[in-house]
Amino acid sequence: MAGTRDRARRRARERHETQRQIRQERLHRNRQRASIGLAVLCVLGLAIGLSVAFIGGGTPKAAPKPKATASASTSPSASATASASAAAVSEPAHHCTYTSTSGSGSAPSLPTSSPDYTAAYTATLNTNVGPIKIDLLNSKATCTVNSFVHLAETNFFNNTQCWRVSDTGGLYFLQCGDPTALAKDKLSCSSSTLGEGGPGYSIADENLTGATYTAGTVAMANGGANTNGSQFFLVFKNTTLPANYPPFGTITSGLDILQNVAKAGTTCTIPQVGGGVPKDKVIIDSVTIKKS
């Protein structure tokens, strides 16, 4: 009888040990899955953060809330599409297509489809804090420049304010060009329409191959490939962004004005996208274009 009891106890111990090992292996696998899931969520969170960095323009809700801005929103597939689109366009462009869109704000008319691709343009943003002068890159972003010139000459930007400034997290820019951000308004970061205005049409991507956003760059804010509109951002310090936002100008004077606006800070922080409404209100009184 004693031998039988010993064998029974031994078998019971073996079953217990086997079950313990199974539980440990199951726990280890669950922990591995949880770690992988967390890593994936982190990567997705970073991608989403970049994608909403610039919203604005033709489809601003999907884009500046970048909420340009400088978001501008893009996914890896959208980025690839944008790069392919840019590579396919031969610059300077001899013909431009502007696609009508729905959204807040609209220009009085569409730009001409036949740009003056041989011209040299400079623009001056006449603001309440001083003039900001820009050389427009007509030979590299012809249709974007053609649109900007058209909007400036039809007073589209007059009496609007730059609604977003960012001076942290690797993003250093002032974002402007929303026709619904009127000079007289007190902007609120909690507004559901902040940064959503556009010209009522979209512009295809240009000049994206090898695009960088060093201090002095002026580029389009958008909501993904080929959704550029009227919103743009002015970079006052080297900024790291994917090449999704068409550069179309270079600041030649007034960089110090942007830096001072950034130093003054913000009145509030825009949820999820970073930056906020400038504490020092920046009003575009008019935009002067010179052609040569």
The 10s digit of each residue's pLDDT in 102-133 is: 766 788 899 999 999 999 999 999 999 999 99
Say which residue, 255 or 108, is predicted with more confidence. Answer: 255
41, containing H or E segment: helix 2-51
Q: Which long-range contacts (CB under 8 A, 24 or more apart) does 184-191 make?
A: 184/159, 185/161, 187/161, 187/163, 187/267, 187/277, 188/268, 188/277, 189/267, 189/268, 189/269, 189/270, 189/271, 189/276, 189/277, 190/268, 190/271
Say which residue, 147 or 41, is predicted with more confidence. Answer: 147
pLDDT at residue 274, as a whole number? 81
pLDDT at residue 22, as a whole number? 58
Say which residue, 9 or 178, is predicted with more confidence. Answer: 178
Token pair, residue 25, equals 């292996």
- State pTM to two decimals: 0.75
Q: Are 228 and 78 spatial neighbours (Cβ–Cβ below 8 Å)?
A: no
Strand partners, 182: 160
pLDDT at 20 over 80: no
Number of Cβ atoms within 10 Å of the Cβ of 22: 10
- List the alpha helices (DSSP H) in 209-289: 255-264
Sorting pLDDT into bands at 50, 70 and 90, what band is 277?
very high
**Chain centroid, CA 42 distance in Å:** 20
Rounded mean pLDDT of the chain?
80
Which residues are CB-contacts of 22 (< 8 A; sequence separation ≥ 6)?
none
CA distance 142 to 88: 14
Q: In this structure, is the dihedral angle defined by the CA atoms of residues 131, 137, 138 and 143, taken in order, positive or negative?
A: negative
What is the maximum alpha-carbon separation in the chain?
A: 111
With residues binned 3-state (H G I as helix, E B as strand, rest as coil), the percentages for the chain, rounded to 5, are: 30, 25, 50
CA distance 197 to 164: 13
Sorting pLDDT into bands at 50, 70 and 90, what band is 31?
very low
pLDDT at residue 279, as a whole number? 97
CA distance 192 to 189: 8
Strand partners, 168: 171
**Chain centroid, CA 71 distance in Å:** 2
Q: Are 165 and 173 spatial neighbours (Cβ–Cβ below 8 Å)?
A: yes
pLDDT at 149 over 90: yes
- Region at 124 (left for phi over 0; alpha for psi -120 to 50; beta for the rest): beta
Q: Are 89 and 195 spatial neighbours (Cβ–Cβ below 8 Å)?
A: no
pLDDT at 89 over 80: no
pLDDT at residue 58, as a whole number? 31
